[in-house]
Amino acid sequence: MNPHPKIQPLTKEAFAPFGDVIEASGDADFMINDGAAGRYHALCKVDADFKGGTPAISIFRAKRPAWPVRLTLLERHPLGSQAFMPLSNHEWLAVVADPVDKPTIDNIHIFRATGSQGVQYARGTWHHPLVIVEPSQDFLVVDRCVFGDGDTNNLEECALPNGGLALELG
């Protein structure tokens, strides 16, 4: 039971049940462009080709909610992964839930990401919409889109019971 989940640092190990952490940590995997750039190669695999989907790149502009934030709704994408990479160096929160049919506040996990860390939610992972700390923040988003024929219904939502959870930034 997790009635008041603590905000924990975003690490690859802690986030692994929910997807991937995207970050350029340590030395680059290899050098490219005559040594002018280090490539952090294939940090995660985009899962987007199910039922006619294809990977697409978008930019989301998030606005800061009033604090405390009330977490009332989670969503998941059953047909593909969804990745978020901040375009500015500001902390943000990744809120996820255990893989159950109907999440509750008892199985929510909250991760504090640095401005140089992104996440890719695995297909079907319950997550809250972006929670940012600054007034506004842009994110590069890589997820499944359908151009033409294909299954476009890639969103399920679930209201959290009992009015959800008030989240204090601590």
Least confident stretch, 17-21, 32-36, 49-53? 49-53
- Amino acid found at 35: G
CA-based end-to-end distance of the chain? 21
Domains of the chain and any CATH numbers: 7-167 (2.60.120.480)
**CB–CB of 83/46 below 8 Å?**
yes
Residues whose CB falls within 8 Å of the CB of residue 133, separated by 6 or more in sequence, listed in order:
64, 90, 91, 92, 93, 169
**Torsion sign (Cα): 5, 87, 11, 123:** positive
DSSP state of 127: B
* Mean pLDDT of the 13-36 span: 96
Are the C-beta atoms of 103 and 158 separated by less than 8 Å? yes
- Amino acid identity, position 161: P
Dump pLDDT digits (tens) for 126-151: 999 999 999 999 999 999 998 877 66
Written as six digits, the tokens of 170 are 């601590």
Question: For the stretch 22-55, what's the b/e string if a residue is b when 16 or more beta carbons lie within 10 angstroms of its beta carbon?
Answer: bbeeeeeeeeeeeeeeeeeeeebebbbeeeebee
Instruction: Record the pTM.
Output: 0.93
Q: What H or E segment, with its residue span, contains residue 13?
A: helix 12-15
Structure confidence at residue 3 as a pLDDT band (50, 70, 90): low
HSE, side-chain direction, 13 A CA sphere, residue 113: 29
Q: Which residue has the tokens 């690859």?
A: 12
pLDDT of residue 168 exceeding 90, the answer is: no
